[in-house]
């Protein structure tokens, strides 16, 4: 008679041996490898393997999250007063790992490009939350795939802000919640209570912004886009967006003494912004451009600047571009299901920067998206164009 128990044990042993063998001898994905120690080779490796938008949210980096004691010591040693550049030459990256990598390894490249403002985008997610139905700060580990605890995540966020300020950059802090986009509200069972979740996140992050003297705080990352990509009409999107800001911004003002930026995007047509209220904002910004050809970029920037100037005059506050994203062929494959246009990235930037200089004369900032992630400019011929543009906008 066959001993089923012994067979089961044998199968288990074989499975474990196969897993161990594959771990030690099988080819691992690049993100599991340690980057080269040589600084030039390491930067090249990181630039190829950091791809938050593609789902690769982890690479090994030589970084330990400091203790609160070390963070407070660093904070006390620095001049924390907010700095407000006359023109914000900005970089935006999504992803906590990417933010950290930028500051740790690419600060000199950012300075060489003329960057004086850095967007930091901590992610809030429900999927990994220990409190059912709630959104928590999401940070993956820097030396393994384990998620950081909430305390570790808060330390990592605080340290990233301090490192950016230590480099002399102004900081724009905003929450990211990618789970909610593109039908995510229905998948998570969120409808009329969206604003409740966004308010909790905004007030939580506003305290961080105040504690570390962040220059600009964004209450919500493109709430218009969240609503529209979840099937809400233009009219309902406008109503809920205005109601959200009217409800939340006064509460933020009780916590945060810096400047509030409304980051607006994904609302289909520029005229849809006509009835968005900017009451409560110190500054606002439009996202763009997600173009297939340079001519479209020029036309789109012209129309965006026309609407921005109109709103700026109405509310008496300045505006900036808060995302300029040109998808690479790889980005297009992932986001659009195929390559729509494969011109060199510098041709898109040439058109965009020239149009911005021509039509967006009143803008107080321009944001490259991004150094390493989706729309990566690092190592491309777009960099000298950006450097020249930023130098001319000082």
Asked if residues 322 and 263 have their Cβ atoms less than 8 Å apart, the reply is yes
Q: What is the CATH number of domain 62-392?
A: 3.20.20.80
Q: How buried is 114 (Cβ within 10 angstroms: 0-12 exposed, 13-18 middle, 19+ buried)?
A: middle
pLDDT at site 290: 67
Per-residue pLDDT tens digits for 117-134 = 999 999 999 988 888 889
Tokens of residue 369, six digits: 């998206």
Asked if residues 124 and 131 have their Cβ atoms less than 8 Å apart, the reply is no
Asked if residues 349 and 326 have their Cβ atoms less than 8 Å apart, the reply is yes
Per-residue pLDDT tens digits for 230-246 = 999 999 999 999 999 99
Q: pTM for the whole thing? A: 0.90
Extents of the domains making up the chain: 62-392
205-220 average pLDDT score: 98
Does the pLDDT of residue 51 top 80, yes or no? no
168-179 average pLDDT score: 96
Beta strands 136-138 and 123-125 are: antiparallel
Does the pLDDT of residue 358 top 50, yes or no? yes
Asked if residues 283 and 261 have their Cβ atoms less than 8 Å apart, the reply is yes
Residues 281, 274: Cα–Cα separation, whole Å: 16
Residues 38, 238: Cα–Cα separation, whole Å: 51
Whether omega for the bond prior to residue 108 falls within 30 degrees of 0, making it cis, is no
Asked if residues 61 and 46 have their Cβ atoms less than 8 Å apart, the reply is yes
Per-residue pLDDT tens digits for 282-325 = 999 999 776 678 898 999 999 999 999 999 999 999 999 999 98
C-alpha pair distances (Å), 223 with each of 110, 125, 175, 253: 29, 16, 11, 19
Residues 309, 361: Cα–Cα separation, whole Å: 9
Residues 222, 217: Cα–Cα separation, whole Å: 13
């Amino acid at each position: 008679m066959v001993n089923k128990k012994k067979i089961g044990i044998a199968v288990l042993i074989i499975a474990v041996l196969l897993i161990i063998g594959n771990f030690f001898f099988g080819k691992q994905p690049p993100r599991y490898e340690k980057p080269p120690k040589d600084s030039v080779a390491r930067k090249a490796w990181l630039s190829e393997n950091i791809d938050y938008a593609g789902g690769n949210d982890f690479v090994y980096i030589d970084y330990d999250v400091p203790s609160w004691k070390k963070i407070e010591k660093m904070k006390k040693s620095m001049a924390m007063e907010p700095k407000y550049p006359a023109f914000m030459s900005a970089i935006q990256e999504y992803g906590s790992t990417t933010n950290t990598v930028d500051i740790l390894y690419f600060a000199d490249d950012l300075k060489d490009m003329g960057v004086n403002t850095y967007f930091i985008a901590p992610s809030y997610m429900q999927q990994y939350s220990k409190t059912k139905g709630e959104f928590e700060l999401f940070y993956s580990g820097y030396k393994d795939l384990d998620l950081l605890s909430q305390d570790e995540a808060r330390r990592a966020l605080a340290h990233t802000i301090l490192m950016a300020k230590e480099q002399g950059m102004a900081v724009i802090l905003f929450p990211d919640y990618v789970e909610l986009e593109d039908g995510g509200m229905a998948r998570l069972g969120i409808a009329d209570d969206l604003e409740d979740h966004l308010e909790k996140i905004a007030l939580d992050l506003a305290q961080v912004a105040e504690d570390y003297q962040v220059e600009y705080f964004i209450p919500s990352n493109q709430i218009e886009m969240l609503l529209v990509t979840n099937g809400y009409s233009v009219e309902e999107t406008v109503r809920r967006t205005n109601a959200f800001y009217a409800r939340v911004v006064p509460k933020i003002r009780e916590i945060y003494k810096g400047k509030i930026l409304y980051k607006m995007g994904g609302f289909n047509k520029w005229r849809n912004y006509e009835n968005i209220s900017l009451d409560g904002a110190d500054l606002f910004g439009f996202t763009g451009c997600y173009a297939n050809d340079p001519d479209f970029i020029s036309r789109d920037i012209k129309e965006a600047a026309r609407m921005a100037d109109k709103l700026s005059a109405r509310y008496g506050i300045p505006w900036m571009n808060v995302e300029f994203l040109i998808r690479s062929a790889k980005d297009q494959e992932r986001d659009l299901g195929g390559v729509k246009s494969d011109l060199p990235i510098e041709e898109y930037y040439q058109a965009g920067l020239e149009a911005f200089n021509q039509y967006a004369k009143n803008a107080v900032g321009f944001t490259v998206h991004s150094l390493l992630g989706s729309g990566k400019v690092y190592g491309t011929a777009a960099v000298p164009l950006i450097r020249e543009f930023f130098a001319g906008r000082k």
